[in-house]
Amino acid sequence: MLTTRAAIPHLTNGGRIITIGSTHGDRVPFPGVTLYALTKSAHHSFTRGLARELGPANITVNLVQPGPIDTALNPADGEDADYLRSLVPLGRYGTTDEVAAAVAFLAGPTSSYITGSIITIDGGLNA
């Protein structure tokens, strides 16, 4: 939030703010992540509020919220990987390239009418 607020004065007409959240903003799939999920839900309101505030300056604000993505901190072969995969209709972890593709789309000119949106990349986890 602080980084986003610090960047706003430097954005020009047509600027983009794209932040990364988590599907925990929509659901709490297991015990022990309640406070983490609370912060991710707040991220939704932050995104929508900034979209309204910055829309008149033609600056879009969107949130990408990944589900299980194969990273060093959440490997597809990690301790909880089988359980997480069992919750995902596509039956697999996502890739960082899939998340990056959504971010690239939101940063590009064809997304200029998308603001205040939450793009979920989770293989259907939140379906």
| Tokens found for residue 126 | 């939140």
Q: How far apart are CA 115 and CA 62, in angstroms?
A: 6
**Annotation marks residue 83 as catalytic:** no
Considering 36, 83, 93, 113, which one is annotated as catalytic? 36
Residue 17 backbone phi and psi in degrees, to 5: -120, 120
Active-site residue set: 36
